[in-house]
Amino acid sequence: MNKYTTYISRYLSRTLTSDTKRNMDRAKVLFGHLGTSNNVGTIESYSSAASTEADDDILVCSALRTPIGKAGRGSLKDTFLDDMLGAVYKAVLDETKLDPGHIGDMCVGNVMLQGSGASLGRVAQFYVGIPEEVPIMAVNRQCASGLQAVMSVAGSIKTGVCEIGLAAGAEKLTGSSFGAPRAERMGDVNPKIFTNNKAQDTLLPMGITSENVAERYGISRELQDQMAVESHAKAHRAQQYGWFDAEIVPITTVVKDKDGKEKKITMTKDDGVRPNTTLAGLAKLKPVFKKGGSTTAGNASQVSDGAAAVLLATRSAARRQNLPVLGVLRSYAVVGVPPDVMGIGPAFAIPHALNKAGLTVEDVDIFEINEAFASQATYCIHKLGIPREKLNPKGGAIAFGHPLGMTGARMVATLLHELKRRGKRSYGVVSMCMGTGMGAAAVFEYPGPI
């Protein structure tokens, strides 16, 4: 048994025998209330006063995504990631009728690929005629990588590197090492990690951090399963009414069966939505990560494949290029939280982002909070007092999946197209937790029909 497995074994033994009340008391000391700024470290990378117009405002001009496929057995399992990226790049350019030579910078968010997919992002731009003079970079901020790509392009715009930029998020978990212990994916692990409690906790399986959140904050199995049922029901309703159509780019690809026989398909909707999901059915599922736990395959996000792209520009550049206005970026915040309860990140990031935008929870129409696990998403809405009807109105990652690098960019598309569908000036928030203990949140404004 190596040091990592010994650590996990001891950790589980400790948590299984610990007193729940003691854990709750410890949590109160650690976290206090959201207004106590010294409980988390915060990096705020962009903010703008809400409800104002300026030439240097950063606009979202287009936000589109592929449908999301089930990893290993879904519609995108045999599709190359650069082809997924090429599809969303092209769709954004076609929708906006932008000459690709006007793009000043690009950024792709990815988690699992070496170099965060920088090479594939560059390859994909050439597929669709984005010239070689247009540079690209890649970022990995765990599950916020797609959102961070958007913010990195926003940063390039804000600092004068460019006036128009293209961000993307992409992940193909089919065939990846996702699911293997973090220490195993890291390769050789420095023994020093096991001498520092916080450092050790960054190695915890994400499912164990979900169990920690459920135990410490009293999030019952029933509450988690209820969120899962609601996620599938909302996603199914959105599919039935065509509410995803404006954000999804149909993708024609090839799928191989178990014998290697190829079939050409056109994928138009997410694979994972199960309209017949019920509380009774979910109750039959066994905990995945911990004996006696509450996190199951039914109340956690699905493992998936997909890509999304977001075009950003200053207001003045958008006006010159006659680009559409889908939304306005109003603020962004990133925080750090304890690694062993990493899922609480949105509960701390969202207040910072709202404060920077001069808004409150009551001012926001939609909160797109990534459903990495029902335990943590439930905790976050309870902590912040977010009404359930404002949460993920078209469902979330429990229903249609969580391609790690794609998710943040996908959520921008999902949010802004839903605000546009509703047809009035309004605000929305995109937020997610991140492995190793972080949270990110961004505030967007839909300016209303123009």
User: Do the Cβ atoms of 250 and 236 come closer than 8 Å?
Assistant: no
Q: What is the DSSP letter of 301?
A: P
Spatial separation of the C-alpha atoms in residues 107 and 134, rounded to whole Å: 11
Of these residues, 61, 143, 162, 380, which one is catalytic?
Answer: 143
Q: What are phi and psi of 84, to 5 degrees?
A: -65, -45
- Told to judge if 107 belongs to the known catalytic residues of this protein, a careful annotator would answer no
Mapped onto helix, strand or coil, the DSSP state of residue 273 is coil
Per annotation, catalytic residue among 107, 162, 380, 433 = 433
Nearest to 322 by CA among 64, 99, 56: 99
Q: What is the CA radius of gyration of the chain?
A: 21
433 labelled catalytic: yes
- How far is residue 323's CA from residue 318's CA, in Å, rounded to a whole number? 5
Q: Tell the burial category of 254 from Cβ atoms under 10 Å away from its Cβ (0-12, 13-18, 19+).
A: exposed
The rounded distance, in Å, linking the Cα atoms of 168 and 408 is 9
Contact 251, 305 (CB under 8 A): no
Which among 46, 168, 29 has a CA at the least distance from the CA of 106?
168
> Helices 145-158 & 407-422, crossing angle to 10 degrees?
80
* Nearest residue to 415 via CA among 379, 445, 387, 371: 445
What are the angstrom distances between the C-alpha of 380 and each of 175, 343, 346, 350?
32, 8, 6, 9
Residues marked as catalytic: 143, 433
